Amino acid sequence: MRLLRDAIESGNFLLDLSDDGLDEVFAHVLDHMADSGLIPASSREAILTELWANEKITNSALGHSVAIPHVYIEELTKPLIFFVRLKNALNLGAADGIATRFLFFMLGPKQAGSDHLNTLASITALTSDGEFRYAIGKFESKQEFITAIDQFGSRHPITQYDRTTNPPNEPHTKTKIVGLEYTGQFCGGLREDIARRLPHYWNDFTEGFNLKCVGSILFLFFACLAPAVIFGGLMGIYTHNEIGVIEMILASAICGVLYAMFSGTPLIILGGTGPLLVFTTILYAQCDRLEIAFLPTYAWVGIWSSIMLLIITVFDGSFLMRHFTRFTDEIFAALISIIFIVEAIKNLVNVFKSPDTTTYAEPLLAVILALGTYTVAMYLSRLRRSDFLRAQFRQILSDFGPAIALGIMSLIAFLTRNAIPQDFLSAPEQFGTTSGRPWLVDLWAVENWVKAMAIIPAALVTVLVYLDQNITARLVNSPDHQLQKGVAYHLDLGLVGILMAICSFFGLPWLVAATVRSLNHVRSLATVEEEIDGNGHSHERIIHVRENRLTGVVIHVAIGLVLFLMLDKLQMIPKSTLYGLFLFMGVVSMSGNQFFTRTSLWIRDPSLYPSTHYLRRVPQKVIHAFTAFQAVCLAVLWIVKVSALGILFPLFIAILVPMRMLAGKFIKEEYLEALDADEVPEEETTQHSS
C-alpha cells in the first residue's frame, strides 16, 4: 500500500488514455515514463519487449476491469508503480470476459518482485471493492486517489495486506449495526445521529448537481405523484372527501421538502402507505359508528402518536430495531413489492369491469399503455448492460427510462383520445381542500373523553409508524447499497413524529417512509456493475450511490407546484400509465431481495444454482425450509392486511422478531448466520462498472 501511495503522490499516473490497443497503451506509457525520467530512455525497448513476453506467458488482465502489467529486469534500479486509466475499456482477454480500464504497471529490478508482492495484494484488495473502483474511475487529482485509498481503509480496518493476511472481503456474517446502540442518555442516540450526519450536510447538496440526479428527479416525481393521487383518491372515497387528493399532494410536498432538508437519511421518501390508509379508513368508520367528528378525532390521535414517537426518539427507542434482521426486512420489502404489483393488476382488471366501458377497445388500450410503460421503462433501465450505443448515452437512457416511458405512452393516449377514449387522471380545477372545509382542524369540536381515549388508537398507529419508518430505513441503509454517510434512525423517527403533528393540525394525511419509493430513489441514484457468478449468471450490484438532499427537495417542490401550476396538466396522463409505473416499481424493488432469489430455487435445476455464500455454507434442504418459513410469515401478513384485523397489522409485523427467534429452534445457528447475514459477503464474482 505504501508503494502505491508514494507512486500516486509522485504523480505516477495517466488519465483517460484514448489508445485503441494494448500496443498503443504500452508505447504511450513507456514514452511518458522515459520523458519524465521514471525509466532510462535506453531501457524503453527492453522493457517493452519484456512486457510483451510476460503478456504471452501470463495474461495481465486479472478481472474487475483491472490489469497489472509487470517487468523485472536489471536495467531498472528501483521499484516503480504507474497507474493508467483508459478512456474506453479494452478487451484484454480477462478470464471474466470483462473489458479492462485500469492498469497498474509494476516495474523494477529482479529483486523488486518480492517487494511488489505486498503491493500486489493491496491492489487486489482495493480493486475488489466496488466503491474504490467507482472512485478511481472518476478522480481528477492525486489527492482524490489518496482519499479513495483512505476511505477504503475506513471501510476495512485492515489496510496493509501481505501474503498471509485475509483480504477485507473475506466472508463474514456478523456486523455491528451502527446507529442502533442504546446510549442510556437523554437524547443520546439523537445527538450521535446529528454528529454523524452534520459534517456531510453541505456535501449533501453539492452531490446533487449531476445528470444522474436529474433522471432520478424526473422518475421519482411521477413515481411519488402517482401514489399521492391514487392514495389520496382512495382516502377521499373512504373518508367522504374529508381527506382527499389535494390534502395528500400537499402533505407529500410539505413533508417531503422538510424531510429532505432536515432528516438524517434524505434518500428516504415519505408518502402514503397501504397500512396507514387501512388504519385511517377504520378510524373513520369507528368515528361514524360512534357519531363523533372524524377530523378532530383524527387530529388528537395524530397528536398523541406524535408525542409517543418523540418520547421513543429521546430515549433511544429505535435501538430495538437491532433485533430486526434480514429475515424481517426481506418479508416486509416483499410484502410492499407485492402490494404494488397486485394493486397495478387489480386496477387494470377493474378497467374491464367499469360500467363506463362500452367496447373492449378502451380496456385493451389501457392494458397496452400500462404494459407499454412497464416494458419501455424496464428495457431502458437494463440498457446500461447492452452493447449498443456509447456507455454514457446508455446510462442517460437508463436513468431517464421511467420518465421516457411515461411520456411516450401518455402521448399515444393523447393522440388516440378521440378514437379510443381513456380514463385520464382526475384532478380538481383549483387549489383548496377537497371538501371545501377550512384548512385548520377545530381540536375542540369533540368532547374531552374523545381527546383522552384517542391515545388508544394512537398507540397502534405509533407501532405502525415506528416499524414502517425504521424497517424502510434499515432497507435503505442496507450494506448492499454501499451508503457512506452514516445512519440516523433516531433523528428520522423524531422528525416523522413532528411532521405527523403538523399534518394532524391541518387534517392532512400522515406520511411515513414509503419502502418502494425509497428503494427506487436509492437505485435511481446508484452506479451499478454487472456481477457474474461461477455459473455465468449475471445480476447487478450497487457500487456507489449519490447520497444527496437535492433530489428529494426538488421532487417534492415540483409536487407542490402541481397544486398551483399543473392541476389541469395532470388530466393529460392516463391512469393506466400510472398502473404500469406501479408495476415497474414493484418488480424493480424485488431486485436484490434475497427472499425472491431463494424462492426461485424451488423451480430451478439444482446443478445450475448460482454460486452464493449461503449455498456454499448451508444444505439445500435447510435453505428451502428457511425460505418456506419466510413465505408462510409473508402469507400471514397478507391475510391480516386484507382481513377485518387490518388495524392490527403493525403488531403482526412486530411478531416477525420472535418468529425469527423461533427459526433458531430448528435451524443451526451457523446456518442462520449465513442465511440472515446483515451484509452479504463478497462472492467469487467478476464485475463490470456501468
pLDDT at site 552: 93
Indicate whether 479 pLDDT > 90: no
Angle CA 422–341–257, to nearest 5: 85
| pLDDT for position 489 | 93
pLDDT value, residue 174? 42
Closest Cα to residue 276, out of 304, 298, 260?
298
208: Cβ contacts below 8 Å, ≥ 6 apart? 546, 548, 549, 550, 551, 554
> Which residues, in sequence order, are bridge partners of residue 107?
71, 80
Q: What does the alpha-carbon distance between residue 322 and residue 247 come to, in Å, rounded to a whole number?
A: 35
* Single-letter amino acid code for the residue at 633: C
Distance CA 583, CA 377 (A): 10
Q: How confident is the model at residue 490 (pLDDT cuts 50, 70, 90)?
A: very high
Whether 234 shows a pLDDT value over 90: the answer reads no
Q: Which residues contact 401 (CB under 8 A, 6 or more apart)?
A: 219, 376, 377, 378, 379, 380, 381, 383
Q: Which of 247-256, 341-350, 509-518, 588-597 has the lowest mean pLDDT?
A: 588-597
Give the contacts of 15 (CB within 8 A, at least 6 positions apart): 85, 139, 140
pLDDT band for 163, please (50, 70, 90 cuts). Answer: very low
Look at residue 16 and give its three-state secondary structure: strand
Q: Dihedral of the CA atoms 84, 88, 92, 93 (nearest 10)?
A: 130
Would you tell me how many other CB atoms lie within 10 Å of the CB of residue 488?
A: 26
For residue 408, give the C-alpha cell: 411516450
Other residues' Cβ atoms within 10 Å of the Cβ of residue 473:
26
Give the type of residue at 644.
A
Q: Identify the residue whose cell numbers are 489508445.
A: 19
Where do the domains of the chain lie, and which CATH numbers do they carry?
Answer: 2-155 (3.40.930.10), 188-219+254-274+290-591 (no CATH)
Give the per-residue pLDDT at 483: 84
Cα 580 from Cα 557, distance rounded (Å)? 24
Given a cut of 80, whether residue 95 has pLDDT beyond it is no
| Cα–Cα distance measured from residue 117 to residue 460, given in angstroms and rounded to the nearest whole number | 60
- For residue 678, what pLDDT is reported? 57
d(CA 660, CA 683): 25
Closest by CA to 384, choosing from 542, 583, 610, is 542
**Cα separation of 326 and 598, whole Å?**
13
**Do 84 and 30 contact (CB within 8 A), yes or no?**
no
Which secondary structure element, helix H or strand E, spans residue 590, and what is its range?
Answer: helix 575-590
pLDDT, tens only, 380-389: 888 876 777 7
* Pairwise pLDDT comparison (283 vs 592), residue with the higher score: 283
3-class secondary structure per residue, 211-233: HHHHHHHHHHHHHHHHHHHHHHH
- Exposure string over 559-581, b if 16+ CB within 10 A, otherwise e: bbebbeeebeebeebbbbbbbbb
Residue 580, pLDDT > 50, answer yes
CA–CA separation, 647 vs 653, rounded Å?
12
Taking residues 266-295, what's their average pLDDT?
A: 87
Strands 80-90 and 686-689: unpaired
Note the pLDDT tens digit of each residue in 286-321. 898 889 999 999 999 999 999 999 999 999 988 888
Cα separation of 546 and 551, whole Å?
Answer: 10
Give CA–CA dist 442/446, Å, rounded: 9
- Calculate mean pLDDT across residues 222-241: 78
Residue 101 has pLDDT above 90, yes or no: no
pLDDT at 74: 78
Question: Has residue 630 got a pLDDT over 70?
Answer: yes
689 vs 184, which has greater pLDDT? 184
Question: Do residues 531 and 539 make contact, with C-beta atoms less than 8 angstroms apart?
Answer: yes
d(CA 416, CA 365): 10
By CB neighbour count within 10 A (0-12 exposed, 13-18 middle, 19+ buried), where does 542 fall?
Answer: buried
Question: What per-residue confidence (pLDDT) applies to 685?
Answer: 38
Return d(Cα 636, Cα 619) in angstroms, integer: 26
Q: Nearest 5°: phi and psi at 60? A: -80, -10
Quote the mean pLDDT of the chain: 81
Least confident of 201-210, 332-341, 545-554: 332-341
Residue type, 226: A
| % residues pLDDT > 90 (the chain) | 21
Q: What is the pLDDT of residue 425?
A: 64
Mean pLDDT of 7-29: 84
Residue 114: pLDDT band by 50, 70, 90 thresholds?
low
Contact (CB, 8 A) for 100 and 66: yes
Q: How confident is the model at residue 168 (pLDDT cuts 50, 70, 90)?
A: very low
pLDDT at 438 > cutoff 60: yes
Angle of the 326-353 helix axis to the 656-663 helix axis, nearest 10: 120
690's grid cell: 456501468
Half-sphere exposure of 6 (CA within 13 A, CB side): 7
Helix/strand/coil (H/E/C) assignment for every residue in 301-368:
HHHHHHHHHHHHHHCCHHHHHHHCCHHHHHHHHHHHHHHHHHHHHHHHHHHHHCCCCCCCHHHHHHHH
Residues 486-493: what's their mean pLDDT? Answer: 92
pLDDT of residue 179: 77
**pLDDT recorded at residue 156:** 58
Cα end-to-end distance, the chain, whole Å: 27
Q: Over the range 256-285, which residues count as b (16 or more CB within 10 Å of their CB) and which as e? A: bbbbbbebbbbbbbbbbbbbbbbbbbbbbe
pLDDT at residue 116 tops 70: no
Asked whether 611 and 539 are in contact (CB, 8 A), the reply is: no
- Give the lowest-confidence range in 111-120, 167-176, 244-253, 313-322: 167-176
**Residue 604 has what DSSP assignment?**
S
Question: 3-state class of 10 per DSSP?
Answer: coil
| Closest C-alpha to 546, from 211, 213, 263, 264 | 213
The DSSP 8-state label assigned to residue 38 in this structure reads S
What whole-number distance in Å separates Cα of residue 27 and Cα of residue 182? 59
CA 501/CA 247 separation, integer angstroms: 15
172 pLDDT tier (thresholds 50, 70, 90) = very low
- Helix pair angle (211-238, 274-290), 10° resolution: 20
* C-beta separation of 479 from 680 below 8 A: yes
Instruction: Report which of 17, 43, 16, 21 is spatially closest to residue 30, judged by C-alpha positions.
Output: 43
Query: Could you report the per-residue pLDDT of 555-569, keeping only the tens digit for each?
Result: 999 999 988 887 777
**Least confident among 8-22, 281-295, 418-432, 465-479:** 418-432
64: left (phi over 0), alpha (psi -120 to 50) or beta: left
Given a contact cutoff of 8 angstroms between Cβ atoms, the answer to whether 390 and 527 are in contact is no
